[in-house]
Amino acid sequence: MENAPSRLTTRAGLAVLAAVSLLALVETASAIVAPYRAPTDADWRAAAGAIRAGFRPGDLIVAAPAWADSILRTHLGDLIPVEVAGRLDDERFPRVWEVSQRGARDAAARRGAVAEERRFGALTVRRVERDPEPVRYDFVARWSDARVSRRGAAGASVDCPPVGDRAQCPGAGDNFVRRQIVEVDTRLRVALLAPPASQATTVVEYPDVPLGRTLVVATGLSNVWMRKAAAGTVDLRVFVGGAEAASFTTANDDGWVVRRIDTSARAGQVAAVRFEITSAAPQSRQFALAAEARR
């Protein structure tokens, strides 16, 4: 005859059953309540109206969570130009409007003080004010100032003259530099697209850059299909006034990486800034670069 289950075993089984039943009830309740917690179109219209009433040129508008960005742009897209949507980062903006739901917060709105907060149904609108980082020179916006060349392994250089919308290096159709909207880590950015050349260095030099205290450089690999097709890394060396200031390596999984180079010793000066791009495995490497001299 089999032994009867002990009281301890029975109690444990009942506890597990109770926990599973409670979880099922919570999930069911959440599924029923969630649609009623979602913002309505009227909520979005009211929130957009409040932002329009207080908006100033140079403000940043963000959605939290980020997946609501497409809805945000339906209502306020005319106040989010391409250059803002594809920004290097959030630090240049003195005022940030955050449209939040379900308690979410956007990283852009975490620094600074909340100057205004209002509820519109299921949406919360916050206006955050903070000390911005003024941009002295935007390398992407001023990309036509750059002198582009390709330096071979033996040291000989050839110029890459302007051809249409790009600086095209001779003898290699995919070795060019141009301003473009790129996709890095599933987000669009406005950047310089500079695919590296085989056994050569792509040189992008800006001869007269007004420097501040910081040089901010962002890099990433564009195009999800190209990231799937290859795994080679891309190396970037940054020179300021002829001296190497930093070097970075960018890989598939890095996403959009923002780095800061201290240029306080040259603040207020005008100097050449040079970017040198190389890769040991350049196939399918859509290297994207953005930079700003700040403060």
Token pair listed for 232? 């080679």
- Report, as an integer, the average pLDDT of 195-200: 94
pLDDT exceeds cutoff 60 at 223: yes
Place of tokens 């950015």: 189
**Confidence class of residue 36 from pLDDT cuts 50, 70 and 90?**
very low
All structural domains of the chain, each given as residue ranges with its CATH number in brackets, are: 41-129 (no CATH), 135-294 (2.60.120)
Would you say 135 and 294 are in contact if contact means Cβ atoms under 8 Å apart?
Answer: yes
Residues 6 or more apart in contact with residue 33 via CB below 8 angstroms: none
Would you say 137 and 292 are in contact if contact means Cβ atoms under 8 Å apart?
Answer: yes
- Other beta carbons within 10 angstroms of residue 42's beta carbon come to 10
Higher pLDDT, 16 or 145: 145
pLDDT exceeds cutoff 80 at 43: yes
Would you say 183 and 193 are in contact if contact means Cβ atoms under 8 Å apart?
Answer: no
**Confidence class of residue 269 from pLDDT cuts 50, 70 and 90?**
very high
Distances (CA, A) of 237 to 5, 121, 179, 275: 71, 50, 19, 6
Would you say 65 and 101 are in contact if contact means Cβ atoms under 8 Å apart?
Answer: yes
**Confidence class of residue 8 from pLDDT cuts 50, 70 and 90?**
low
Rounded Cα distance, 137 and 139, in Å: 6
- Quick check: helix, strand or coil at residue 237? strand
**Confidence class of residue 33 from pLDDT cuts 50, 70 and 90?**
very low
- Quick check: helix, strand or coil at residue 66? helix
From the list 213, 230, 212, 210, the residue with the least C-alpha distance to 222 is 230
- Other beta carbons within 10 angstroms of residue 179's beta carbon come to 18
From the list 226, 237, 240, the residue with the least C-alpha distance to 271 is 240
Residues 6 or more apart in contact with residue 181 via CB below 8 angstroms: 82, 86, 188, 189, 190
From the list 215, 218, 194, the residue with the least C-alpha distance to 263 is 215
| The pLDDT value given to residue 174 | 83
By DSSP bridging, strand 147-152 and strand 162-163 are unpaired
Rounded Cα distance, 74 and 67, in Å: 13
pLDDT exceeds cutoff 80 at 30: no
- Report, as an integer, the average pLDDT of 254-263: 97
- Report, as an integer, the average pLDDT of 85-111: 95
pLDDT in tens, 274-284: 999 999 999 99
| The pLDDT value given to residue 171 | 82
- Report, as an integer, the average pLDDT of 76-84: 96
